[in-house]
Structure 1
Amino acid sequence: MTITAEHETTTAGAAWPLPGITRAQAQQLFDALAAALGQGVGAGPADQPADSVPASAAPASAPASVSSSSGEAAVDVAAAELVERVRPSAPVVAIMGPLRVVGAAGDAPVARSTGTASEAQTQRCAALAAFLALHPGASAEAYTAAFWPGERADGPAAAASRNKLSGQLRRYLGQDAHGRPFFPRLRADGYRLHEAVTTDWQTFCGLVGSEPSRASTPALVAALRLVRGAPFEHARPRNIGWADDLHRVMVERITAAAFELGARAEVAGRVGHRQFAARVARTVDPSCEAAWRASVAAEVAAGAREEAARVVEGLYAYLDAVESEPEAETMEVIARLRAQGYRMPGGREHE
């Protein structure tokens, strides 16, 4: 799956700090952040990657607490300064968590039976917006295969379905300040959204790149703060069948970025970022026990004994749900903490 991010030509003056992502896309990123998370983040000092990545490093969604070290505070302050450079200009399709459109300027689809906004149709519109943002210029064949698999794209039923869903999304996204629709009418070059409409995932990629170890620490913090949950969380399968490969890529790259931040935070003694990174990792990929272990280690480093126990309890609850047993390394960590006086919950085999 190809994910594109246009480059923006900059003029003389202050250099645009995010190569690989346009100013408009960055604006949308931070708009999504403010609306979805209620907190600002961004990039800061150009920290270099850690020389080594400890196995205990992990990712997650951090609490909005005061930084635990001056170095951590410096990263957060510089991140906030980056946020101040940008302003929202168009809707953002948020897919790193529950699927939704942030900043839609029009009206959500209405259910005929009730005359009120239809959550099901609004979600389908959000899925189409995500698909088109990630596949600009999609053909009728690609559009049909994504949302009505098995239908003939050149048939009247498929055409009617496309027209209906496209119309709903067009009304939902609305227009910009100049009256230009965020979802223009179909053109010869296929279905595409206004170039300013993007996804939080594209912004994440612009900040982190394909190799998280090469990203600055502030960029990692900014990107990971976009994560509100697992990719496409709670989305209906029929809306995101086209995103199976993308989902895998997202989980892998977000988790890698989180572990990278966790590793740097461990080396630098930035406990808050270490806790944050670990939470992101286990939220995005709860099947990754290394992320749970990293989260436990981060809470122990922060002196949060009760929270460390809650993390273990959460891991056991997840393993019970998927009918699995903890890895040997996980059991070793728990046994070590018990020997140090930590009150750790027990799994099925300890009850």
Structure 2
Amino acid sequence: MVENIKNILLNAKGFRSKRKILVIESDDWGSVRMPSVQAYNALLAAGIRVDQCGYNRFDSLENTDDLTALYECLSAVKDQNGNSPVITANTIVANPDYEIIRAAKFERYAYETVTETYQKYQGSTQTLDIIKQGMAAKMYFPQLHGREHVFIKNWMRALESGDEVTRLAFDNQVYGLSTTIVNAKRKSFLTALDLDNFADIKTHEVILKEAQELFQGAFGFKSTSFIAANYTWHPLHEALLHKIGVDTLQGSRAQKVPGDYEGYKTIKHYMGDSNSLGQVYLIRNAGFEPSTRPNVDWQAKITKEVQAAFLVGAPVVLSTHRVNFMGGLEEQNRTQNLQLFGRILTDLVKRYPDIEFMNTVQLANHIRASKK
């Protein structure tokens, strides 16, 4: 009850509309978190408890089976306009090139593009073809999540110093070991826009420019929204994103702000707020994460979150991660979660016959139009 009242009050502070809008934002598409069952087993055998982190246990590069199953789930549900739910698939457009990094003795970082990653891990670019089929069917809408999901400076520093666990993960082509399963006290390797000092901003400017170019090369258009890895970015990054055409900032209610100080500061945002550059903030106010939090009653939780939002006229931005729909490492993960997701979406349509499914950019444009 307390949580429900809190959600109602927070939703009431942001943008409101008479329309019942549902957006699904899903992160990490294109990234390689756990490359194979063999890598998982090797790390587990070495005593690294990858079984205790849902991302390390279940999250693999999306393949055609994953995408086909996702489309089947989404296509079975329709809103009042005959539209299926659409996944705003926030995409990482490059991954570390382990061979080049090793050849350079960990003194130089290098990456491969996401199209090269599909070729390397799956032997073809058929996955990208299936993605484009989903785009044409308006069930899959890619947006930019970053060039890679790596705090490069921090990761390379650990590799160059010979950190044993980081090197072992590297040998298995893994960068994303959760800080919850390693003993070393360090910052996450996943916070791509993290920084040690403000000189790092210049490096990020190059990274973000390349990210947009790679995104356009893969999908044929520029991304106008962006979600920072692990909700971690500095206000200075917003100007860099504005330069590459980003006018919408996805995120949670709390932005983690890095700087040349220990830890992070926090900036609070509300749905539909905008900054001095005119960029609109979209705030995630519901979530679906069964792969990493299996003991939650997700249907009951989402029902309450949607109710709290619609009660005050707020749109629902449902946060989820690719891991919840992946079956490459464990097929049951995909099967069970898609069945649950389908039941939840079907129930929402029954509860709210006037619900409307939108992608992130459509919601942002609706907010802008409503303010005129």
Q: Specify which structure has the higher proportion of strand.
A: 2
Same fold (TM over 0.5): no
Higher helix share: 1
Q: Which has the higher contact order (CA 8 A, sep 6+)?
A: 2
TM-score, normalising length: structure 2: 0.25
